Amino acid sequence: MRIESEQTVYLKDYAPTPYRIVSVELDFKILEESTRVRAQLTIEPRKKTAPGTPLVLNGDELKLDSVALDGAPLKQSAYASDPNSLTLVEPPHRRFVLETEVTLKPEANTKLMGLYRSGGTWCTQCEPEGFRRITYYLDRPDILAPFKVRMSAPKAVAPVLLANGNLVDQGELGDGTHFAVWEDPFLKPAYLFALVAGDLGSIKDSFTTMSGREVELGIYCAHGKEAECTYAMDSLKRSMAWDERRFGREYDLDVFNIVAVSDFNFGAMENKGLNIFNDRLVFAKPETATDANYHGIERVIAHEYFHNWTGNRITCRDWFQLCLKEGLTVFRDQEFTSDERSRPVQRIHDVQNLRTSQFPEDGGPLAHPPRPDSFREINNFYTTTVYEKGAEIVRMLATLLGEAGFRKAMDLYFERHDGDATTIEAFIKVFEDSSGRDLSQFVTWYLQAGTPQIGVSDNYDAASQTYTLTLTQKVDPTPGEPTKKPLLIPVRFGLIGPNGSPMGWNGVSGGTVEGDLILLEGDSATLTFTGVANKPVPSLFRGFSAPVKVSTNLGQAELLFLARHDSDPFNRWDALQTASIALIANAAQGKAWSDAEVDALRAALVDTLDNPDLDDAFKAQALSIPAETVVSRNIGRDVDPDAVSEARKALIAALVSPVSDKLAAAYAALGTNAPYSPDAGQAGRRSLRNGLLSLLVAGSAQGAALAAQQFHDATNMTDRYAAMAISAHHWTADAPALLGEFRTRFAGDPLVFDKWLTASAQAPDHEVIERMRAILAAPDFPKTNPNRLRSLLGSFVMSNPTQFARVDGAGFRFITEAVVEIDKVNPQVASRILTGFRILPILETSRREAGLEALRALKEQHSLSRNVGEILDRILAG
Ligand code: B3K
Ligand code: ZN
């Protein structure tokens, strides 16, 4: 096998560049067949740079047409160039202007990094290292400069010309082409550069900032899609207002534009003043978008907007610091959604996501610290650990400091670091300085991989009215980290008395307790509470106060007691999940449940459904039975996915059958004729109704027919898609017909096609792989579009555990074969799909061996990108 350059980059090698870029002027001449880029970089040596130090600029697949220094062409001996670099052997020891010209072929750029074309529109993606595919540059985030961009293009194909900052000039050039000049006064790293040229429709709006400045807002999209951008615009305005209210952050340019494109490697990109979005996170109308799509649009619009302060105004010194901007910005978008919708429901949603994607990453061969210290391919580190665990770490800071303390620290962060490219250490220092706390142990959360496992034991002594609670922590070794340090773990808690109300105490010793927080600092702590009148049930990690796994000491009765009485909604939900997981996991390992256990769980679920004080969205989450992948993770080793799937199905059937009429009645009662609105109330109602449908399909004879009926009667995509996906997931007799009808009904809508691909890939029957092969082989399947590939293959690896991990290895081989093909076109998409193999270590031997065999064949037989090579090696080594 040949793997593209295997060089590893280390954080410890960080050093500033010997030269800095003072300012940037770019001139893009866009023509149908190619784009010529002329760059004028004003450069100067740093104070400490010795005369004669070479200047090395990054490139990637570039071809230099010309190079000049201060207006005069450079002699051949003065520089060296190849597609990956341009070196000035001995630049002047003073400020100078370097001028280069390159010619790009955006049409042929299938990696979708740098300048490429999507649906005829020229657009860019530069984070993390795409700018070097546009021009030779010091392409790293600690190089900050003001940019002025001139662009010209044929007006007929590109009437819209956009770049970062403010429009300062535009006009006609007389030959059918026109030009625009954009200037961004804010210093920025090259990864935030963006340019768009195309024939696009738009919607416009405006926002008045808290200091009274008027900002013009625009969302650009394919013609005909304008009406589908209104929810995104509404989300943007709410995000702008929220960031002023919650963080005192005001927008800083006169315009803020968003462009929706259909070929995009991930969700969206926060380029200064010109966000570029995957169109699936912009377009929404009730007939084609689900409630989950609306929720996703709101979240990602907010996320990218919030980056303007956490990411753009304050950026990362190097890519090891990625979670400085990503973890913090995810925390901010989670808070936004919590304020806009329901806080407990959002918290449950975020924790579910953490448990289904981050915990598996952190407990497997791809585990890495939120602030890694080495990488081969930085694109492989845009992970759920950097994003979601990064957000959990910020959330713990907020928990430790309290709301006012956190806001004070964030104010100091903005004040102290505005305009900087900075580090995690500097971020933590701000929190220390602002609160007076010593956070030297806390910082380990950023530096160490792995999910802490918490052990709990307790004892109540009635005679002395004393309650003792012992908490332990342990992190298993992860790749490259054989030993672990104890973390500072904030445990939000309460004690609940026998009648369900909070239980007080009059003294506590043996550990650090601040209000309702226990701070677990060492490997273990034993807290002794005195004056406890009755034996309490402990409610620990309320609101999921730390990203840990808890091995609870509570039996089913106590869990179901918490599910009914805990004042913390998150822990009510979690108690039900824990109780279900225990039954399924035991059964999958041969330990059958008792009727009494199932009866008790059912009673708790029915009580939840009947409780008038709980909202529908919460009930939907409380009634959802944990996914197979979550149960498998809990089992942790020697997992047989078929056994887990069977046990889960059997549990649902046992829970549902005695109450199926009641559930069906509740399902019917939740139906409504109200016109669709994506608001949280209506969406919650639909999610409860569809949750009941899922239980009925899995566990009753009438379910399949109800799903088919709902599919046909649905007046919105949420209900129609749920009916189809549930049918496909249980592979009901109607499922093939429903999939067929869905495909025909929405033929021609690519984003709805993605839904069909996802539902198709999740069917657990034995023919699913053959059907997917046929889908991929169809001549009109868009093989270069990331959304289509991820919808089919990403859904299969991540959420079809029985077929992906088939004992005959067919699922694994199907994916490795697809990865080889995709890697030739788009390495980022290929390596992301390959990460699904991180499941191997927890599987039973024959499946694990089949998976490893597929990976070894991939390694031996093919020429692979650095992206795929790195993931492959890490999984094989783990
Ligand atoms: N910052 C971008 C992600 C870039 C991913 C590059 N592989 C979007 C975001 O996190 O907001
Ligand atoms: Zn982000």
pLDDT at 496 over 60: yes
CB 330 within 8 A of CB 304: no
CB 86 within 8 A of CB 67: yes
> Which of 133, 304, 305 to mutate for ligand 1's pocket (most ligand atoms within 8 Å of CB)?
304
pTM summary value:
0.98
Question: Which pLDDT value is given to residue 312?
Answer: 98
pLDDT tens per residue, range 31-88: 999 999 999 999 999 999 999 999 999 999 999 999 999 999 999 999 999 999 999 9
Cα 337 to Cα 869: distance, rounded to the nearest angstrom: 37
pLDDT at 6 over 80: no
What's the CA-to-centroid distance between 307 and ligand 2, angstroms? 7
What's the CA-to-centroid distance between 851 and ligand 1, angstroms? 30
Which residue CA neighbors atom 1 of ligand 1 most closely? 269
Please state the φ and ψ torsions of residue 473, each to the nearest 5 degrees: -135, 150
Output the CA–CA distances (angstroms, integers) from residue 515 to 149, 343, 537, in the order listed: 55, 21, 18
**Could you tell me the pLDDT band of residue 657, with boundaries at 50, 70 and 90?**
very high
pLDDT at 254 over 80: yes
For the chain, the helix, strand and coil percentages under 3-state DSSP, each to the nearest 5? 45, 20, 30
Q: Look at residue 658 and give its three-state secondary structure.
A: helix
Which tokens belong to 418?
């505005």
For the segment 747-755, the average pLDDT, to the nearest whole number, is: 97
Which residue CA neighbors atom 10 of ligand 1 most closely? 326
For the segment 266-295, the average pLDDT, to the nearest whole number, is: 98
Top-confidence residue, 20 or 2? 20
Task: Return the ligand number nearest the Cα of 275.
Answer: 1
pLDDT tens per residue, range 830-862: 999 999 999 999 999 999 999 999 999 999 977
CB 549 within 8 A of CB 359: yes
Q: Is 626 in the pocket of ligand 1 (CB under 6 A)?
A: no
Chain-wide mean pLDDT for the chain?
Answer: 97
Task: Return the ligand number nearest the Cα of 319.
Answer: 1
Active site residues: 304
Question: Which pLDDT value is given to residue 380?
Answer: 98
What's the CA-to-centroid distance between 490 and ligand 1, angstroms? 29
What's the CA-to-centroid distance between 335 and ligand 2, angstroms? 14
Task: Return the ligand number nearest the Cα of 130.
Answer: 1
**Could you tell me the pLDDT band of residue 550, with boundaries at 50, 70 and 90?**
very high
pLDDT at 379 over 60: yes
**Could you tell me the pLDDT band of residue 1, with boundaries at 50, 70 and 90?**
very low
Q: Which residues contact 306 (CB under 8 A, 6 or more apart)?
A: 239, 243, 249, 329, 332, 333, 336
pLDDT at 750 over 80: yes
CB 59 within 8 A of CB 120: no
pLDDT at 516 over 80: yes
| CA 303 to ligand 1: nearest atom | 11
Residue 627 is given by DSSP the state P
Q: Is 271 in the pocket of ligand 1 (CB under 6 A)?
A: no
Question: Which pLDDT value is given to residue 878?
Answer: 84
Output the CA–CA distances (angstroms, integers) from residue 702 to 638, 664, 710, 759, in the order listed: 35, 9, 13, 21
Question: Which pLDDT value is given to residue 4?
Answer: 55
Four-point Cα dihedral 725, 727, 731, 732, nearest 10: -170
Question: Which pLDDT value is given to residue 641?
Answer: 98
Which tokens belong to 233?
């615009």
CB 505 within 8 A of CB 531: yes
Residue 218 is given by DSSP the state E
Output the CA–CA distances (angstroms, integers) from residue 127 to 133, 190, 273, 616, in the order listed: 11, 8, 15, 40
Length of the chain: 878
pLDDT at 5 over 80: no
For the segment 298-322, the average pLDDT, to the nearest whole number, is: 99
> Which of 113, 125, 191, 266 to mutate for ligand 1's pocket (most ligand atoms within 8 Å of CB)?
266
pLDDT at 690 over 70: yes
Which residue CA neighbors atom 4 of ligand 1 most closely? 127
Q: Is 127 in the pocket of ligand 1 (CB under 6 A)?
A: yes
For the segment 443-451, the average pLDDT, to the nearest whole number, is: 98
Q: Which amino acid is at 214?
A: E
For the segment 255-269, the average pLDDT, to the nearest whole number, is: 98
Q: Is 266 in the pocket of ligand 1 (CB under 6 A)?
A: yes
Q: What is the DSSP string of 380-410?
A: GG--HIIIIIHHHHHHHHHHHHHHHHHHHHH
Q: Is 270 in the pocket of ligand 1 (CB under 6 A)?
A: yes
Q: What is the DSSP string of 325-356?
A: HHHHHHHHHHHHHHHHS-HHHHHHHHHHHIII
What's the CA-to-centroid distance between 303 and ligand 1, angstroms? 10
Please state the φ and ψ torsions of residue 373, each to the nearest 5 degrees: -115, 0
Task: Return the ligand number nearest the Cα of 269.
Answer: 1
pLDDT tens per residue, range 598-639: 999 999 999 999 999 999 999 999 999 999 999 999 999 999
For the segment 269-292, the average pLDDT, to the nearest whole number, is: 98
pLDDT at 323 over 80: yes
CB 651 within 8 A of CB 593: yes
Q: Is 269 in the pocket of ligand 1 (CB under 6 A)?
A: yes
Question: Which pLDDT value is given to residue 789?
Answer: 98
Instruction: For each of the domains in the chain, give its residue range(s) and CATH number, in order of start.
Output: 315-447 (1.10.390.10), 453-546 (2.60.40.1840), 746-878 (1.25.50.10)
What's the CA-to-centroid distance between 269 and ligand 1, angstroms? 6
pLDDT tens per residue, range 753-807: 999 999 999 999 999 999 999 999 999 999 999 999 999 999 999 999 999 999 9
Q: Is 303 in the pocket of ligand 1 (CB under 6 A)?
A: yes
Strands 160-163 and 214-221: unpaired
For the segment 555-565, the average pLDDT, to the nearest whole number, is: 98
CB 378 within 8 A of CB 330: no
CB 140 within 8 A of CB 318: yes
pLDDT tens per residue, range 106-153: 999 999 999 999 999 999 999 999 999 999 999 999 999 999 999 999
Q: Which residues of 572-593 are buried (b: 16+ CB within 10 A; e: fewer)?
A: bbbbbbbbbbbbbbebbeeeeb
Give the rounded distance of the alpha carbon of 77 from its chain centre.
Answer: 47
| CA 128 to ligand 1: nearest atom | 6
Region of 71 (left: φ > 0; alpha: ψ -120 to 50; beta: rest) is: left
Which residue CA neighbors atom 3 of ligand 1 most closely? 269
Which residue CA neighbors atom 8 of ligand 1 most closely? 269
